[in-house]
Amino acid sequence: MPPHRRWHPPGIHDRLRPMSSAPLPCPPAAASAVDPALKAAVLAEAVPYLRRYAGKTIVVKYGGHAMGAGGETFAHDIALLKQVGINPIVVHGGGPQINRMLDRLGVKSRFVDGLRVTDAETMEVVEMVLAGSINKQLVAAINAAGGCAIGLTGKDGGLIRARKLSRNGQDLGFVGEPERVDARVLATFRQSDIIPVIAPIGVGVAGETYHSNADTVAGAVAAAVKASRFLLLTDVAGVLDADKRLIPEMSAAEARRLIATGTISGGMIPKVETSLEAIADGQGVEGVVILDGRVPHAILLELLTAGGAGTLIRGG
């Protein structure tokens, strides 16, 4: 493994202007019980990172498997990022929720290489769950936490142009992949207080609706806006080595080697491949982090502490 190279702040001791008041992640009673010296140490560690990411864009993919335990802090963390001058963009998944709804409705699913074959009936359910249920729940949670979020799909403003996807010559129905992300749509939110929350649904050239893998959509969005960080929140700690220990940081070359040797396997492969595409030359994404979104305040721990909270993948 290469040496740990996460960014560490230089000796910065400047005071920051007071931040805008916002709801705290914890009730005041709990916060008052914390040792004042510990509070000061936490703030002292966070300030240089706040300065570093000020004005930068962070794309956060919030996976369906990451929702649940620890998810109660997700909305507060996203709202807080915007309040301190960082620009978060949320892209969410919802595979488990789609499965449950299809089961309830008695709609049977067929998969090809892990991809759901999506006919017109299934596509209606997928869009209902992603755009009508999960998206609005996340928007409401962020707004309740003091943010100002708005729900989007790739149809809105022509945000995501998608093309039909096939696998081994088999027709997958209304399964697509992002062909183009219109960064101009998202740039309008960057200049405001609004936090975009995007469901992974795109539109084809003829106006047809396509469901795309949320990791892939989030990577395309991160590349389009040249995100400083792309956070992939999932239900595992990050990338593990052969001894099942967390790898805190790796280069793109190391990631490819671990895939080739089988150390990175199963469902982690597409996540790492999405990461590699996002940090490829010319894409503009500085780094991708795969981390456990079920951990309370995982986003803040990753962005605002020296050790981070998952596996950082850099170019090279």
The DSSP bridge partners found for residue 311 are 290
User: Which tokens go with 14?
Assistant: 């400047």
Please calculate the CA angle 292-302-78 and round it to the nearest 5 degrees.
85
Mean pLDDT of 87-94: 94
- Reported as a single tens digit per residue, the pLDDT across 106-124 is 888 788 777 778 888 899 9
How many domains is the chain built from? 1
* HSE-up (13 A, CA, CB side) for residue 137: 17
Whether 11 shows a pLDDT value over 90: the answer reads: no
Give a yes or no: residue 37 inside a domain: no
Surface-to-core class of residue 220, CB atoms within 10 Å of its CB (0-12 exposed, 13-18 middle, 19+ buried)? buried
Give a yes or no: residue 66 inside a domain: yes
Whether 68 shows a pLDDT value over 80: the answer reads: no
pLDDT score, position 12: 39
- What's 84's domain CATH number? 3.40.1160.10
**Residue 162 pLDDT grade (very low, low, confident, very high; cuts 50, 70, 90):** very high
Give a yes or no: residue 32 inside a domain: no
Q: CA distances (Å), 284 to each of 154, 207, 242, 252, 253, in order?
A: 21, 29, 31, 14, 18
* HSE-up (13 A, CA, CB side) for residue 74: 30
Give a yes or no: residue 102 inside a domain: yes
**Residue 220 pLDDT grade (very low, low, confident, very high; cuts 50, 70, 90):** very high
Place of tokens 């992002």: 178
Domain that holds residue 181: 56-314
Q: Which residue has the higher pLDDT, 306 or 189?
A: 189
Mean pLDDT of 54-64: 90
pLDDT score, position 19: 36
Give a yes or no: residue 80 inside a domain: yes
pLDDT score, position 10: 52
Q: How far is CA 308 from the centre of its chain?
A: 15
Surface-to-core class of residue 260, CB atoms within 10 Å of its CB (0-12 exposed, 13-18 middle, 19+ buried)? exposed
Give a yes or no: residue 4 inside a domain: no
Buried b (16+ CB within 10 A) or exposed e, 78-87: bbbbbbbebb
Residue 148 contacts residue 194 (beta carbons within 8 Å): yes
Give a yes or no: residue 122 inside a domain: yes
Q: Reading across the β-sheet that carries 57-62, which strands appear in turn?
A: 149-152, 195-198, 87-92, 57-62, 229-234, 288-292, 310-314, 249-251
Mean pLDDT of 125-141: 93
pTM, two decimals, is: 0.84
- Reported as a single tens digit per residue, the pLDDT across 245-275 is 999 999 999 999 999 999 998 889 989 999 9
Please calculate the CA angle 194-199-202 and round it to the nearest 5 degrees.
115
- Reported as a single tens digit per residue, the pLDDT across 282-311 is 677 889 999 998 888 999 999 988 878 899
Mean pLDDT of 191-212: 94
User: Which tokens go with 77?
Assistant: 């963390």
